[in-house]
Structure 1
Amino acid sequence: MKRKQQKFHLYRWKRKVFAAILIGFCFGSLVLMQTQYTRIVSLRHRFAQKPKIAFLFIARNRLSLEMVWDKFFEGGENRFSIFVHSRPGFLFNKATTRSVYFLGCQVNDSTQVDWGEASMIEAERILLRHALEDPYNERFVFLSDSCIPLYNFRYTYNYIMSTSTSFVDSFADTKQGRYNPKMAPVIPVHNWRKGSQWAVLTRKHAEVVVNDTTVFPVFQQHCKRRSLPEFWRERSAPVDPAKEHNCIPDEHYVQTLLAQEGLEGELTRRSVTYSAWDLSSSKDHERRGWHPVTYKYSDATPKLIQSIKEIDNIYYETEYRREWCSSKGKPSRCFLFARKFTRPGALRLLNMSVLGGEGVEARNETVAK
């Protein structure tokens, strides 16, 4: 009797072990199948997902030209993302923006930006940090709150994605007063570059900017805003104004950093954003050229837009270099965006249906097909 009980208990124990093994095998198979399924779905999604362009807006408060951009982003088909940096405390919501594209796109760690200070490039770095969190973002476009798109989204996307390079306006700055000798030896003068801050960066170059712990601190320390004559009434005048340095960080930082890293061979050394600098616009000689021309309602005409679209080369005096613009290896127009436009001026262009459309090259390709 005792032996039978022992056999019975052994039999029950074996059944439990077998059941446990069977359950474990089934559970393991289920987990493996789920993992494989998730991987396949992920690969399919990754294969189907097109690379995106991150549009990085630096704004004071609201985006006054949002309706122009609202029209531009229509039909983007998940090929773009938007990030907005505005002053701390300002909130983008349904009360401050009428475009659904900008809701939920504001970064939550913005900094106070002061013209002529390193805070401007810190804002750029903040935008890039957020944009890089999306692995599908492969190009990063800096835009101001006064920028307008000249073409439609399709043409702009194809133009930017047609090259593996960044678009960075970069040239040797030989004028005295911008470079501070105290920056050496970290930043030698032969690596000092100047250009427009409105760049288009590849993911690789965006990561270089975000991970920089060498050049940015030097800009913070030695790039200080020079006091202009109209402010000398409020504080004592400098002993020697000529020795004050106003390096304008946003016009030098990205260009100089990429030169420091030996990456200039990976750049298309021009901007795709047009700005007009009229040195005779101010009667005050000290303020001439500090800011680009602002286009008001009366300035915003089809003729103006057409003249900007027809520009096909840029000349750099300090390097005796003429940059002929190209796209997909063919001669092309230089600019995709333009600034600085007031809200009335931009809305006038939008109502006249002047903005948008394909470039000449795209129309020619369509005809050829």
Structure 2
Amino acid sequence: MVEAERRLLANAVLDVRNQRFILLSESCIPLYNFSTIYTYLMNSKKSHIEAYDLAGPVGRGRYSHHMLPHVKLSQWRKGSQWFEMDRSLAVEVVSDQHYFPLFQRFCVKSCYGDEHYLPTFVSIKYWWKNTNRSITWVDWSKGTGPHPGYFQRPHISPQLLKNLRNNRTCQYNGETTTTCSLFARKFLPGTLTRLLRFAPSVMKFN
């Protein structure tokens, strides 16, 4: 999974016009129109990769002491695989020949590299470039096990979309804002017709 993400980044970096890089799933939707998202990301002074220290079996419990001395337990991080980063950080990720091989060898079986490699790598090497948050909203309150909650057609309403756009506060370039999530998931294919109906009025799509 991580190797595939790095290959995607490597190909995107080849185009010098690309300055920001976003990984989304097929079940993600934008919560704002293109110009709003573009302006938000191009003006952002940092990248957005969720990274946090989590005790327990799905956090620190996945750490392998074979990664010492390069990665210590105190440096081990977890986060969403859905990332956004600027060009300078993307180049560092695809160029990494030190930490990635460690994860290939020792983050195996119950350790999921897509949840740990980027959060750990960025937190160790480039922590000042990162906001430690994701710009993709996910509902874990209704999920089952490792899977988040999902939305079907009856769930979609203008109020839902408005709530997703303003459901928390965060820091953006040193200022507090309610524009934190630019995307959201998981939306099943059957939601498309209702999303298209409400998008012009709520998200200002045209």
TM-score by length of 2: 0.89
Q: Contact (CA 8 Å) 1:166, 1:267: kept in 2 or not?
A: yes
Offset at residue 327 of structure 1 (A): 5.8
Query: Structure 1 pair 125/355, CA: closer, same or farther in 2 (3 Å)?
Result: farther
Residue 256 in structure 1 maps to residue 120 in structure 2: yes
One-letter amino acid of the structure 1 residue matched with residue 178 of structure 2: S
Q: Contact (CA 8 Å) 1:148, 1:346: kept in 2 or not?
A: no
Unaligned runs of 5+ in 1: 1-119, 226-245, 283-287, 314-323, 359-369
Offset at residue 330 of structure 1 (A): 5.3
Residue 310 in structure 1 maps to residue 177 in structure 2: no
* Cα distance in 1 between the residues matched to 2:95 and 2:10: 9
Offset at residue 355 of structure 1 (A): 5.5
Deviation readout 1:106-128 (Å, 9 max, x if unpaired)? xxxxxxxxxxxxxx111110111
Q: Which residue number in structure 1 is paired with residue 137 of structure 2?
A: 274
Q: Contact (CA 8 Å) 2:51, 2:123: kept in 1 or not?
A: no
Q: What secondary structure, in the 3-state scheme, does the structure 2 residue paired with 1:294 have?
A: coil
Residue 211 in structure 1 maps to residue 95 in structure 2: yes
Residue 335 in structure 1 maps to residue 181 in structure 2: yes
One-letter amino acid of the structure 2 residue matched with residue 260 of structure 1: I
* Cα distance in 2 between the residues matched to 1:126 and 1:191: 25
Deviates more, 1:170-179 or 1:141-150: 170-179
Residue 172 in structure 1 maps to residue 75 in structure 2: no
Q: Contact (CA 8 Å) 2:135, 2:181: kept in 1 or not?
A: yes
The answer to which structure, 1 or 2, has the higher relative contact order (CA under 8 A, 6+ apart) is 2
Offset at residue 171 of structure 1 (A): 1.2
TM-score by length of 1: 0.51
In the TM superposition, structure 1's runs of 4+ consecutive aligned residues that sit over 4 Å from their partners are: none
Unaligned runs of 5+ in 2: none
Offset at residue 340 of structure 1 (A): 0.7
Match of 1:151 among 25, 32, 39: 32
Residue 191 in structure 1 maps to residue 38 in structure 2: no
* Cα distance in 2 between the residues matched to 1:355 and 1:331: 19
One-letter amino acid of the structure 2 residue matched with residue 161 of structure 1: M
* Identical-residue share of aligned pairs (%): 36
Tell me how many residue pairs correspond in the alignment: 201
One-letter amino acid of the structure 2 residue matched with residue 205 of structure 1: L
One-letter amino acid of the structure 1 residue matched with residue 181 of structure 2: F
Offset at residue 297 of structure 1 (A): 1.1
Which has the larger Rg?
1
Offset at residue 172 of structure 1 (A): 1.5
One-letter amino acid of the structure 2 residue matched with residue 144 of structure 1: S
One-letter amino acid of the structure 2 residue matched with residue 268 of structure 1: T
Query: Structure 1 pair 197/355, CA: closer, same or farther in 2 (3 Å)?
Result: farther
One-letter amino acid of the structure 1 residue matched with residue 140 of structure 2: W
Query: Structure 1 pair 175/198, CA: closer, same or farther in 2 (3 Å)?
Result: same
* Cα distance in 2 between the residues matched to 1:269 and 1:200: 11
Deviation readout 1:151-200 (Å, 9 max, x if unpaired)? 10000001111122101111113224221222222211121111111111
Alignment of 1:72-221 (within 5 A): 120-176=1-57, 177-221=61-105
Deviation readout 1:257-310 (Å, 9 max, x if unpaired)? 11221x11111121110011136x54xxxxx2x011111112222222111111
